[in-house]
Amino acid sequence: MTQPRTLDARQAGSRLDELIVLDVRTPGEYATGHLPGALNIPLDDLTRALPDIREAADRGDVLVVCASGSRSAKACETLAEHGITTATLAGGTHAWTEGGHPLHRPGHAPRTAWSMDRQVRLTAGAVVLTGLALGRLRPAFRLASAGVAGGLAFSALTDTCGMAAVLAKLPHNRPRRGDLEATLEALRDH
């Protein structure tokens, strides 16, 4: 299995024109700002895009990007399992902007979405508060709060997030019909 390389924001910035950049965040997150020239292939759709990504990797170096680097590292592992050599952007778009690099923000962004981290924090907080409030009526509702606490601890230990995986399936986080096909066509032409 081919191991992915890691590029920092400075390295990626100096090579941006020669890299094929794949953003594996949700379409809503991608619409809020992405690396210039990046193509959006959500992590959940990665296996569907494998043939096109393989062809692109044969033509040039592929950089995989997400918000923090966690999802892109997972995507790189999946691609490596299929013999596709890639690199991940250390620290993701957060590190990119902190390094002084601009994000492309389409002026006609079709929707404004929260980052997945923010969606998870809102959902976890709402479930905990609801569990505590309802726990005043029936103590068993406090188990919801305990479940979220356990899930957050597990998430930190394993560097995964089950809640993000569930939230990514919500309609506002899914590509619109035809968006992925248009992205794959652009990848073929890249």
In this predicted model, what pLDDT tens digit does every residue of 129-150 receive, in sequence order?
Answer: 999 999 999 999 999 999 999 9
Q: Is 56 exposed, middle or buried (0-12, 13-18, 19+ CB in 10 A)?
A: buried
Q: Is 144 exposed, middle or buried (0-12, 13-18, 19+ CB in 10 A)?
A: middle
Q: Which has more confidence, 158 or 92?
A: 92
Least trusted range by pLDDT, from 16-20, 68-72, 176-180: 176-180
Q: Which has more confidence, 67 or 106?
A: 67
Claim: this prediction has a pTM higher than 0.85: no
Could you tell me how far CA 82 lies from the centroid of its own chain? 20
Give percent of the chain with pLDDT exceeding 70: 92
Question: Does residue 174 have a pLDDT over 80?
Answer: no
Residue bearing tokens 């619109």: 176
Question: Does residue 1 have a pLDDT over 50?
Answer: no
Residues 104 and 111: their CA atoms lie apart, in Å, by 15
Q: Which has more confidence, 105 or 11?
A: 11
